[in-house]
Amino acid sequence: MLQPLFDRYCNLVAYLGSNRYLFNTDLEWIAFVDNRQAWTLDLKWIGPVNGVICMDKDGRVVAWGLGQKVIGDPSLHRKPKFPPRLPEAPTSSLRPMPQNPPLPGTPLVGWSPLSFADWIKG
């Protein structure tokens, strides 16, 4: 199942599949999550992920999904010592019909200054 992810303005920016794969809005695989850390396909660390909350390296929210309180993480985030192995390519999924969520409040540590597109570049 794909979980839609939104930016601070409630724009659909990506999908999270199987709590592991990040897809763009065209359902192209663009990143993955391993041990609560997001990585690009060329194994650049881009930040922590808590459930459906994607954060920058400073713990500020970049993207969020429905069903979880939109909060950041003020604790210190360090790049993992070793990158994970690239997982097997995901299988195709049907595109969900995302709901239009209400604007969330400002997260505890604020919104990331990065757009989702900038974040995903690493």
Burial of 85 (0-12, 13-18, 19+ CB in 10 A): exposed
Kindly give the confidence (pLDDT) of every residue in the chain, 122 residues in length, as a single tens digit, with 9 standing for 90 and above.
Answer: 899 999 999 999 999 999 999 999 999 999 999 999 999 999 999 999 999 999 999 999 999 999 999 999 988 888 899 999 999 999 876 777 777 899 999 998 899 999 999 999 98
pTM over 0.75: yes
Query: Backbone phi, then psi, for 41, in 5-degree steps?
Result: -70, -15
Q: Quick one: three-class SS letters along 53-122?
A: EEECCCCCEEEEECCCCCCCCCCCCCCCCCCCCCCCCCCCCCCCCCCCCCCCCCCCCCECCCCHHHHHHC
pLDDT of amino acid 55: 97
DSSP 22: E
